[in-house]
Amino acid sequence: MREKSLRDTFYYPQHLVQKLEQAIGRTANLLVIVVPNEDIGKAIKEMYLLESMQYIDISLALSRNLSFVTSQQRSQATVEFFRHLSSKKEALPLFLDNLGILFDFSLKLTPLKLLRELANHRNVIAVWQGSVVDGIWLQYAKPNHQEYCHEMIESNFTVVDCCHEI
């Protein structure tokens, strides 16, 4: 008899499961899953932790690393953290969650650029807690917010919008 999995015990909208499975099947390096809130992000994390992936809570991991450097060194330390992730010779895809720290104004980073560079070396699935605007922009936070960011969706990565078809 087959063991019950999280997919059996938690409710996942079938259209969402199908969209994600199709995207995983066609994504070579980077899949950005856009979620509007933390609850959907948690459900996706639970669903994908069933698979063989290396899970990293970016905000938690970076907070630990950045606590040992000066504020002037934080941006470079973040870039080095991502270089370290890309240098690991592991075949497992990375599942990156809680990206919020990457949007910290003081870091002066381009989060999507960091994700794309990491994806040149490893398969990456990243949960982007934000929205897709006009089908061509990934947005984080609201305009006029200090952490506001919008970046163009490019053809070299896949985006799955968990609330809207794009």
pLDDT (tens digit, 9 = 90+) per residue, 110-144? 999 999 999 988 888 899 989 999 989 999 999 99
Q: Which residue has the tokens 């970016």?
A: 58
Higher pLDDT, 129 or 20: 129
Q: What is the pLDDT of residues 52-80, one digit of tens each?
A: 678 899 999 999 999 999 999 999 999 99
Structural domain includes residue 166 = no
pLDDT score, position 36? 76
pLDDT score, position 5? 40
Characterize 57-81 residue by residue with b for buried, 16 or more Cβ atoms within 10 angstroms of its Cβ, and e for exposed.
ebeeebeeebeeeeeeebbeebeeb
Structural domain includes residue 15 = no
Supply the range of the domain harboring residue 89. 27-161
Structural domain includes residue 43 = yes
Structural domain includes residue 12 = no
Q: What is the CATH number for 148?
A: 3.40.50
Q: Give the count of domains, the chain.
A: 1
pTM of whole model > 0.75? yes
Structural domain includes residue 7 = no
Structural domain includes residue 6 = no
- Closest to 98 (Cα-Cα) out of 134, 140, 47: 140
Structural domain includes residue 35 = yes
